[in-house]
Structure 1
Amino acid sequence: MDEKRTVKTSKMLSRILRHDPGAVGVTLDAAGWVGVDALLAALARHGRPLSRAELDHVVATNNKRRFAYSEDGRSIRASQGHTVEVDLGLPAAAPPDVLFHGTAERTLQYILAEGLRPMSRQDVHLSADTGTAAKVGSRHGRPVVLAVDAAAMARDGHEFRVSANGVWLTGPVPAQYLRRTP
């Protein structure tokens, strides 16, 4: 599978497994899983044939590790980023003292006044490093990285979870926990 097809397939799977499983006629279970065979059959019915080997390649080579197989390898789901209602079943976890959020410069004033909100997603997504946060922010314009005082949030009762691919998830982040990084 060439790089161009790998990226195109990854984007298609993200849309299906995070936002619109009905686009190909599959249903996610309450935890976001769908059977691999059901997914592959649905893709074929919708003119997007994909082999298990190709799916394995996309899952294994995705630099953001957006997808995960179940322990038995029979089901697949997106690791986070859902706009459809799912419960990933991730346990609460103690975050590092500081986490980071990448955004576009044009949204900075609003965020510093109002805080971070999940918007259409279920959770606010945070990174453990500034490099990842900057990459995320650059998708939306000139990037700005915000430091999140995760230690203070946790002390104040906010819950954190970490997805299979290392993305930290939490609810809304009030503005008092945010500061712009240099």
Structure 2
Amino acid sequence: MNEIENKRISKFLSLILRHQPEIIELRLDENGWAEVNELITKSAKGRMHFSFEDLEEVVETNNKKRFAFNEDKTKIRASQGHSIAIDLALKVAQPPDFLYHGTAQSNISSILDNGIEKRSRQHVHLSADKETATKVGMRHGKPVILTIRTKEMHDDGIAFYLSANGSL
């Protein structure tokens, strides 16, 4: 599969597994898992064709590890970033002293007024390095990287969770 096709499938999976499974009438369980065969079949009916092998390649090559299979590869889910109510059963984690939040410059005044908000997502996602945060911020305009004093927040009782792809 070429890079363009891989990216097309990845974007489709992000939409379906994180935000709108109803587009193809896909059922996700309470933990966000979808049956792989159902996903492939219903995607094809919606004119998005890919094989199990294509799906494996997208999961294995995605640099952000956005998707994961269960142990026997009969189910798949998004690792984070859901706007739908699911329980990823994330583990509470001790954060490092600092993490980074990438955002667009257009969001800064709102963040300064209201703080960083999860909005329609279940959690605020932070990055371990400035490079990743910059890539996140660039998706919506000129990036601004905020340094978050996560150890202080954790010491004040705020819980941090580690997602399946290793992100806090």
TM normalised by structure 2 equals 0.97
Secondary structure of the residue aligned to 1:124 is: coil
Supply the distance in 1 between the matched residues of 2:108 and 2:48 (Cα, whole angstroms). Answer: 39
1:28-67 per-position Cα deviation (integer Å, ceiling 9, x unaligned): 1000001111111111222222110000011111111100
Q: Is the 8 A contact 2:26 2:34 kept in 1?
A: yes
1:134-173 per-position Cα deviation (integer Å, ceiling 9, x unaligned): 11001111100001111011111110111111221xxxxx
Secondary structure of the residue aligned to 1:43 is: helix
Q: Is the 8 A contact 2:66 2:165 kept in 1?
A: yes
Question: Aligned residues, how many?
Answer: 168
Question: Which residue in 1 is equivalent to 2:166?
Answer: 166
Question: Which residue in 1 is equivalent to 2:76?
Answer: 76
* Offset at residue 88 of structure 1 (A): 0.2
Aligned residues with identical type, % of pairs? 48
Question: Which residue in 2 is equivalent to 1:58?
Answer: 58
Do structure 1's residue 125 and structure 2's residue 125 form an aligned pair? yes
Question: Which residue in 2 is equivalent to 1:145?
Answer: 145
Secondary structure of the residue aligned to 1:125 is: coil
Supply the distance in 2 between the matched residues of 1:105 and 1:44 (Cα, whole angstroms). Answer: 39
Supply the distance in 2 between the matched residues of 1:80 and 1:86 (Cα, whole angstroms). Answer: 10
Q: Structure 1 regions of 5+ residues with no counterpart?
A: 169-182
User: Which residue identity is paired with 1:49?
Assistant: H
Q: Aligned-residue CA RMSD in angstroms?
A: 0.9
Runs of 4+ in 1 over 6 A off after TM superposition: none
Do structure 1's residue 28 and structure 2's residue 20 form an aligned pair? no
Supply the distance in 1 between the matched residues of 2:122 and 2:44 (Cα, whole angstroms). Answer: 30
1:73-125 per-position Cα deviation (integer Å, ceiling 9, x unaligned): 11000000001101100111111110100001121122122110101111101
Q: Structure 2 regions of 5+ residues with no counterpart?
A: none
Supply the distance in 2 between the matched residues of 1:81 and 1:71 (Cα, whole angstroms). Answer: 22
Secondary structure of the residue aligned to 1:101 is: strand
Task: Name the structure where strand makes up a greater proportion of residues.
Answer: 1
Supply the distance in 2 between the matched residues of 1:8 and 1:105 (Cα, whole angstroms). Answer: 28
Q: Is the 8 A contact 2:91 2:163 kept in 1?
A: no
Secondary structure of the residue aligned to 1:133 is: helix
